[in-house]
């Protein structure tokens, strides 16, 4: 794709960036070489802006391993081994790594598939699905538009948002608010330092501990304690083999989307002991194991 000077100018670039273009590429240039030149000159934000304006391509970068200060590629990146990028790793389409990824920030317009760990100092933003064979550790925000599947732990310092179903094989550690538009299934513990919300079901293989509110559009089920400093709300049933505790002054609600005549089957509240401040739902006693 050939980008002329006038074509770029019509997108209203910043003054400093347009001056760079006039100095180095007075007549414009091919899309990817322009991105590469911006990155070489340390103008990563300008390269990302250019990709935002003109979108992805069908080009594919295939290498055995990838190590760089920054990468902004308009197509897909496919690496047989590891990816090591100091600042920004960005692809207009997918990122695939047979090994792990370590980067300052990661942005992919489509899917991310990784055979090892993802370690990201800042934002991890994925337009499609994210599938990671090991774990994810992110120092900033996670924003995944599609499904998220992680076989080990997931730890996130910033806000966490997932558009599709989420499966985490071991523990989920969220240091800020966590919002899942569909189902959330975690094999181990869920620890959230703010509000935890799912649009559908919420399931944990151990404890669910939250410093804010816990809310699920459908049911909530855990093998360990369900413990919040705020309210606990379930659209359907609320079940655990251990205890359910809400924060001081807050209530526990089950069956919020269930008709009253179906509470006994679809709005059950099961725990070792009847929780205090149970405001709605059908108390069914201890969960049979």
Q: In the numeric block, which tokens belong to residue 182? A: 């569909």
Distance CA 203, CA 223 (A): 9
Q: Give pLDDT, residue 233.
A: 98
> Up-side HSE of residue 119: CA atoms within 13 Å toward CB?
10
Q: Which two tokens stand for residue 175?
A: 């240091």
Q: What is the pLDDT of residue 91?
A: 98
Higher pLDDT, 81 or 24: 81
Radius of gyration, alpha carbons of the chain: 23
Q: Residue 260's pLDDT band (boundaries 50, 70, 90)?
A: very high
Residue 126's DSSP bridge partners are 108, 144
Helix (H, G, I), strand (E, B) or coil at 187: coil
Euclidean distance between CA atoms 137 and 218, whole angstroms: 28
pTM (whole model) above 0.85: yes
CA pair distance 151, 107, nearest whole angstrom: 21
The number of residues in the chain equals 289
166-182 residue pLDDT tens: 999 999 999 999 999 99
Question: What local confidence, expressed as pLDDT, does residue 54 receive?
Answer: 85
Instruction: Provide, rounded to the nearest whole percent, the portion of the chain with pLDDT above 70.
Output: 90
- Indicate the pLDDT class of residue 153, thresholds 50, 70 and 90: very high
Q: Which of 41-50, 159-168, 274-283 has the lowest mean pLDDT?
A: 41-50
Query: Residue 94 above 90 pLDDT?
Result: yes
Domains of the chain: which residue ranges?
Answer: 1-47
**Per-residue pLDDT tens for 1-19?**
555 555 455 555 555 555 5
Cα dihedral 117, 211, 274, 217 sign: negative
Q: What is the pLDDT of residue 29?
A: 58
Mean pLDDT, residues 97-120 taken together = 98
Residues 6+ apart with CB under 8 A from 206: 171, 188, 189, 222, 223, 224
104, 123 contact by CB (below 8 A): no
Instruction: Say if residue 191's pLDDT is above 70.
Output: yes
pLDDT tens readout for residues 238-252: 999 999 999 999 999
Q: Are 54 and 36 in contact (CB under 8 A)?
A: no
Does residue 287 surpass a pLDDT of 90? no
Q: Token pair of 262, please?
A: 């179906």
Q: Looking at residue 31, what is its pLDDT?
A: 79
Q: How high does pLDDT run on average in the chain?
A: 92
pLDDT of residue 2: 55
CA nearest to 174, candidates 136, 224, 148? 136
């Amino acid at each position: 794709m050939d980008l002329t000077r006038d074509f770029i100018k019509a997108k209203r670039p910043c003054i400093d960036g347009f001056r760079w273009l006039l100095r180095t590429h007075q007549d414009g240039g091919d899309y990817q070489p322009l991105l590469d030149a911006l990155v070489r000159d340390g103008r990563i934000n300008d390269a990302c802006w250019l990709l935002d304006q003109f979108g992805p391509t069908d080009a594919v970068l295939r290498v055995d391993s990838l190590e760089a200060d920054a990468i902004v590629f308009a197509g897909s990146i496919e690496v047989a081994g590891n990816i090591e990028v100091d600042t920004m790793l960005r692809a207009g389409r997918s990122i695939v790594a047979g090994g792990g990824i370590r980067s300052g920030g990661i942005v992919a317009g489509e899917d991310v598939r990784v055979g090892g760990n993802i370690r990201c100092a800042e934002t991890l933003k994925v337009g499609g699905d994210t599938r990671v064979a090991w774990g994810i550790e992110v120092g900033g925000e996670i924003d995944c538009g599609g499904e998220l599947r992680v076989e080990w732990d997931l730890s996130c310092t910033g806000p966490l948002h997932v558009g599709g179903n989420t499966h985490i094989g071991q523990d989920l550690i969220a240091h800020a608010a966590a919002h899942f538009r569909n189902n959330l299934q975690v094999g181990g513990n869920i620890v959230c330092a703010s509000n935890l919300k799912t649009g559908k079901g919420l399931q944990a293989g151990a404890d669910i501990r939250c410093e804010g509110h816990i809310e699920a559009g459908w049911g909530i089920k855990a093998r360990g304690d369900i413990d919040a400093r705020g309210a606990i709300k379930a659209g359907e049933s609320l079940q655990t083999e251990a205890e359910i505790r809400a924060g001081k002054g807050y209530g526990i609600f089950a069956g919020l989307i269930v008709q009253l005549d179906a509470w006994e089957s679809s709005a059950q509240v099961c725990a070792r002991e009847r929780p205090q401040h149970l405001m709605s739902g059908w108390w069914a006693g201890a969960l049979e194991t």
